[in-house]
Amino acid sequence: MKPEGNSSKRKGSNYSDVLHTDDDLNPIPPQSGYKFSIVKALLIYPLAILPLGTGLLLAYWYRALWVRLTYSPCPLSRATTVIMTDAYGQQRVSTVQMTAFADAYSTIGDNVAISASVKRYLTHCRLRYLYSADEDKFVLLRGHDCGLTLAGVHESITGLSGRDYEQRIATYGINSIDVPVKPILVMLYQEVLTPFYAFQILCLVVWYVEEYYYYGAFIIASSLFTISYSLFQTHTSAVQLHELVRQSCTVDVIRDGKELHGVSGESLVPGDVMVIPPSGMSMPCDAVLLTGTAIVNEASLTGESIPVTKTPLPQTADELYSSDRHKQHTLFGGTCVIQTRFYNNSAVLAVATRTAFSTSKGSMVRSILYQKPFNSKFYRDAFIFIGVLGIIAAGGFLFSFIFYAVTTYTLPDGSTISYLVLSPRVYALRGFDLITIVVPPALPVAITIGTVYAVARLKKASIFCIAQQRVNLCGKIKLVCFDKTGTLTEDSVKTSGVITMTGNELCSEMQDPSSLPPCPILFTMATCHSLTWINGTLQGDPLELDMFETTKWTISEPGNDSTKFDLLVQGIVKPPPTSGLAGMEMGIMKQFPFSSELQRMCVLARALDNPKVLHVYVKGAPEKVKDLCRPETVPVNFKEVLRSLTQRGLRVLAVAHRFMELQWHKSENIDREMVECDLEFSGLIIMKNSLKPETTPVISVLKNANIRTVMVTGDNLLTAVCVARECGMIPRRHRAIVMKAEVEAHNPLPVITYEPLNSDGSVSDGQEMMQIDKPVPVAGTEDLKPEDFHLIIDGKSFAVVREHCSEDLFNKLLVKGAVFARMSPDQKAQLVLGLQNLGYGVGMCGDGANDCGALKAAHAGISLSEAEASVASPFTSKVPNITCVPKVIMEGRAALTTMFSVFKFMALYALTQFISATILYVVGTNLGDFQYLYIDFCLATIFVLVMGLNGPYPALVKQRPEGRLASVNMLVRMVVHVVLIVGFQVAALYYLKSPTWAWSWYKPFVITDPTERVPVCLENTVIFTMASFQYTGLAFALSIGPPYRKATYTNLPFLALLAIISFCNAYMILTPWGLVAPTAGLHGPPATSQHHLQGGHPAAGLCLHCSCLLP
């Protein structure tokens, strides 16, 4: 054993940032106050309006900066506007408002109350913050549950008084999670004012002033189409979200000691006591169950449609309420109460704790509205590259200005004058032309083409995406985490047998539990579950359903039979009539539902033949149940039998029991800890959960592509390892080493031990992490490499390593870990974030509520659940197996490759046009209206639309696509392209003008009218036709196929367009005097001359260089 130092603890790390819940929100976020300054406004507003209103645009885009420029800093107590920083570092501006009432209904931190003099509040990210004079800050308005003990929550059972309600409705506002759909005109206004369209408007002004009417009309038409499509998508998404969150209902509420019927759900406030009807209801807020039980469908939040039983909150005086820790007593907003139960027709009561956007449903909606900013190396590099293009554009503008300022024109009287002075409008606009050319206004739209096509293809494969920006991240996935049950293995779990006790040992396996004599393990299987009848169907967890059905017992709802017990019962179980166990009916009196944190479930039951004794039955993880049992009752062969079962890949539940002589009215509010102690070990229940047939082939595909696979599950460690070996996640001949970490009371440093699973199971004392790299002498593994081992760890040890050990050790665990068992939902998210911090592109595939945090945290979270909770995941697959994982990765690689290709094409297309225009400026002319239209529409826009149609390559290769534009390889290729473009355009012009050829029909262009916008000349024709083939060659060269996309020949629309464009280019070269010459502004040699047919036309002999361009 080895103590490990704690030099780098991670208690203050940002792992909690993943889950966008109220507990993760900073109650006092960074904030600064401002008030309006007339002096600043008088100085700033004229400066913002004068340069064509660009300052106002910047104010619209950067509101926080505008506040700082036009407002003066001031104390928060006098501020009218506050700038607050959210959890992701984004600054948001909020306006301070006033409340009519200001009682203290909020606590922060360690139960610090807000001053009763609070009257000012603001709304930040849909949550209300109240000003606290004591803190001199705006603090998060908490709900009724914050800082209350369990007994304190029960004190609310009498309801609010009328005055209390009026004060709280003024403080908290209405209970509404409303995401209004903006009017179309407002959406249009916001869309037009984006930087992309604002730049296009500037370009349109320049083009229309230059009389580029056709080209301007094309840009307007394409912009209208793009805006219309964007508005349609935005409006559709807004309507869908509005419909998803919209909720309208009426409830019965107790106020002033009276029950009010038909109260609108929007009028509820924290502290209101609701009456839950027997037929159920849709919960309009978060509430705590005070009396009775409720059967709830939480699929809208958790993704699991299995009914969940909610029980009344205990009345413990010294325990604080927490919605996470006491979720089995909490009714969450947005969930559906299917039915309620209470004895003697009493009302089922629940007290509202959180309303509006503070609820669990509101938290889910806020996670959609305020997502974590998308951060990609590609986009960072793209903005840098666009900035470089902007610098080039500024340089071109400056060159144009200086060139036309120093170049002179000879007037008829022999005097000379600068072109810029002679015709300032024409030559100044040419400078602006270069700006609109170098920074293509369609670039932001073009680079999303591949993603749009990928999302459409995924939809056809029944994989739906709600975060398109995540598609490109899928192309860089290096590691995929998988949940086990329901993801790698089948959803259905079959009970294969039980093992009972004989003396102090576990005996042999019995495959038919229904043949068991009366014993605790049989009674546990019959009572320890949360099954319930809903619409005539017995529903519940599939594991519990199968377990109960194997006993052949029956269960009935409380009714006439329940009077036999003279008590509240949640169900009555009866043995089969033919079993010989007649009269052994049992009533389920109280449930402690299964908790993923505790990893067990417990019930209190009472037999009809002995009503004075309460039976306690517990089932759960063997390790957890064993710790609750009296040591003398634990079988001596417990470890051996458990190891044997789990190594066979079987799922094992331990069972324990005890008897309590306790009056029912005292047991109703008994703590779980008082029940689950001093238990007697009863035996084991054996469950079989087989792999899905698709699992092993998919794991093989991922491993062959050098994509690491990791299992993260809440199941038993040895069972998980067996499944990992069976599916190939851990190769059979590789070593699996269990890493254990614990903190001992007498030693402040954690103790780390390693246990090779392929040995006799003994702990390897003194073995250090670096020594594990040495091969363990196991027969048949002599040829293994030192790195051929995998670490296995459970959630308890994972927490110790993360919290108490060095960062280096924790990182080694993340790098070599293959199976993470007994992991809680938070730990799954922590694992994903830890892997991301090491530079992994992480995917996560799961199907249950326990995976939601990890699905949100991962670069590519893929949910196999179709419920509403799938909004937590960027991807949702309707096909319930992991075949979706390689499909998503392949589409991500194809989209990423397409994005790179299109970006390079758009950048080189802009530089090619910039070079052509600059050369023609030196000659004294420019490209014509039709020529710009032909280049931008036929040679750029349409090519971009069809370049992304290549589907993903049908196989995953080991090498991942390039993820950065700023790589040396990428920059070298771009420079080579630019050099070739410049070289061939200059060579074409030299070929035309060279005295070596002495074309008889060639006459150098001479400016005769300096005010003429686009003089027609041979130089223009040569550069235009030369560049046309360059654009075509670039599109062909940059349409990359394997290994990430299908071959180019499979993209028939692209090939057809390539042929058509090549024909048009050839036609313009060979017949520059033809039908299109007047429209295209072409000028060629006389038709009687044959030189152009013999290679005399300059461009004809040079166009083949395009085929040599490097992709």
pLDDT-wise least confident of 277-281, 688-692, 1011-1015: 1011-1015
How many whole angstroms separate alpha carbon 1055 and alpha carbon 302?
47
Mean pLDDT, rounded, for 4-19: 35
Q: How high is the pLDDT of residue 757?
A: 75
Four-CA torsion 872, 874, 879, 883, nearest 10 degrees:
-130
Beta bridge partners of 763: none
How many whole angstroms separate alpha carbon 93 and alpha carbon 87?
14
Mean pLDDT, rounded, for 481-495: 85
Q: What is the DSSP string of 737-774?
A: EEEEEE--TT-SS-EEEEEETTTTS---TT--TGGGGS
Mean pLDDT, rounded, for 288-308: 78
Query: In percent, how much of the chain has pLDDT > 90?
Result: 25
- In the residue annotation, 145 being an active-site residue is answered as no
Kindly report the CA angle at 976 between 972 and 979, in degrees rounded to 5?
A: 135
Residue at token pair 């169907």: 537
Task: Classify residue 142 by its DSSP letter.
Answer: -
Beta bridge partners of 340: 294
Residue 1075 carries which side chain, given as an amino acid letter? L
Task: Give Cα 23 distance to the centre of its chain.
Answer: 19
Q: How high is the pLDDT of residue 754?
A: 87
Mean pLDDT, rounded, for 580-595: 81
pLDDT over 80 at 378, yes or no = no
Report helix, strand and coil shares of the chain as percent, to nearest 5. Answer: 45, 20, 35
Q: How high is the pLDDT of residue 198?
A: 80
Beta bridge partners of 330: 288
CA R_g for the chain: 36
How many whole angstroms separate alpha carbon 237 and alpha carbon 231?
10
- H/E element holding 1052? helix 1052-1070
Residue 670 carries which side chain, given as an amino acid letter? I
Q: Which of 831, 802, 810, 834 is nearest to 819 (CA)?
A: 831
Contact 1077, 959 (CB under 8 A): no
Q: What is the DSSP string of 411-425?
A: -TTS-EEEHHHH-HH
Helix, strand, or coil (residue 172): helix
pLDDT tens per residue, range 628-674: 999 999 999 998 898 888 877 788 899 999 998 876 666 666 778 88
Q: What is the pTM of this model?
A: 0.77
Q: How high is the pLDDT of residue 228?
A: 84
Q: What is the token pair recorded at 58?
A: 């910047």
CA distances from 492 to 487, 495, 541, 545, 653 (A): 11, 10, 10, 10, 16
Order across the sheet with 81-85: list the strands.
71-74, 31-36, 81-85, 91-95
How many whole angstroms separate alpha carbon 876 and alpha carbon 866?
7
Order across the sheet with 293-297: list the strands.
281-282, 336-341, 293-297, 308-310
Q: How high is the pLDDT of residue 777?
A: 38
Q: How high is the pLDDT of residue 762?
A: 33
Q: What is the token pair recorded at 434?
A: 């270069």
How many whole angstroms separate alpha carbon 14 and alpha carbon 840?
17
Helix, strand, or coil (residue 1025): helix
Sequence length of the chain is: 1111
Contact 457, 891 (CB under 8 A): yes
- pLDDT range class, residue 872, cuts 50, 70, 90: low
Who's near 848: CB < 8 A, 6+ residues apart? 302, 303, 304, 483, 485, 486, 865
Residue at token pair 């083949």: 1104
pLDDT over 80 at 847, yes or no = no
Four-CA torsion 154, 155, 159, 165, nearest 10 degrees:
-110
How many whole angstroms separate alpha carbon 651 and alpha carbon 685?
8
Q: What is the token pair recorded at 608?
A: 């009809």
pLDDT tens per residue, range 799-845: 999 988 888 999 999 999 999 998 877 788 899 989 998 989 999 99
Residue 856 carries which side chain, given as an amino acid letter? K
Contact 669, 291 (CB under 8 A): no
pLDDT tens per residue, range 667-717: 666 778 889 999 999 999 998 878 899 999 999 999 999 999 999 988 778
How many whole angstroms separate alpha carbon 39 and alpha carbon 59?
17
Q: Which of 1047, 1026, 1041, 1037 is nearest to 1107 (CA)?
A: 1037
Contact 952, 233 (CB under 8 A): no
Q: How high is the pLDDT of residue 16?
A: 30
Residue at token pair 């009972």: 500
Q: How high is the pLDDT of residue 27?
A: 66
Q: What is the DSSP string of 670-687?
A: --HHHHSSSBEEEEEEEE
Residue 830 carries which side chain, given as an amino acid letter? Q
How many whole angstroms separate alpha carbon 268 and alpha carbon 159?
12
Judged on CB neighbours under 10 Å (0-12, 13-18, 19+), 475 is: buried
Judged on CB neighbours under 10 Å (0-12, 13-18, 19+), 308 is: buried
Instruction: Give the pairing type, strands 293-297 and 336-341.
Output: antiparallel
Q: What is the token pair recorded at 611?
A: 């009503």
Q: How high is the pLDDT of residue 766?
A: 36
Contact 737, 755 (CB under 8 A): yes
Longest dimension (CA), the chain: 128
Task: Please provide residue 880's backbone torsions phi and psi, each rounded to the nearest 5 degrees.
Answer: -80, 50
Q: How high is the pLDDT of residue 968?
A: 80
Q: How high is the pLDDT of residue 10?
A: 35
- H/E element holding 244? helix 213-245
Mean pLDDT, rounded, for 475-491: 89
Residue at token pair 């408002």: 97
Q: How high is the pLDDT of residue 651?
A: 82
Residue 841 CB-half CA count within 13 A:
21
Catalytic residue among 286, 483, 826, 851: 483
pLDDT tens per residue, range 761-775: 333 333 444 343 333
If one compares 51 and 811, the residue with the highest pLDDT of the two is 811
Q: How high is the pLDDT of residue 956?
A: 94
Helix, strand, or coil (residue 339): strand
Helix, strand, or coil (residue 591): strand
pLDDT tens per residue, range 860-870: 999 887 654 45
Task: Please provide residue 1082's backbone torsions phi and psi, each rounded to the nearest 5 degrees.
Answer: -95, 155
78: how many CB neighbours lie within 10 A of its CB? Answer: 11
pLDDT tens per residue, range 143-154: 887 888 888 888
Contact 726, 720 (CB under 8 A): no
Task: Classify residue 997 by its DSSP letter.
Answer: T
Task: Write a three-state SS string for 283-320.
Answer: CCCEEEECCCEEEEECHHHHCCCCCEEECCCCCCCCCE
- pLDDT range class, residue 746, cuts 50, 70, 90: confident
Q: Which of 996, 984, 951 is nearest to 1106 (CA)?
A: 984
Contact 763, 1 (CB under 8 A): yes
Q: What is the DSSP string of 713-742?
A: -SS-HHHHHHHHHHHTSS-TTSEEEEEEEE
- pLDDT range class, residue 606, cuts 50, 70, 90: confident
Contact 282, 247 (CB under 8 A): yes
Contact 893, 454 (CB under 8 A): no
Q: Which of 3, 248, 87, 246 is nearest to 742 (CA)?
A: 3
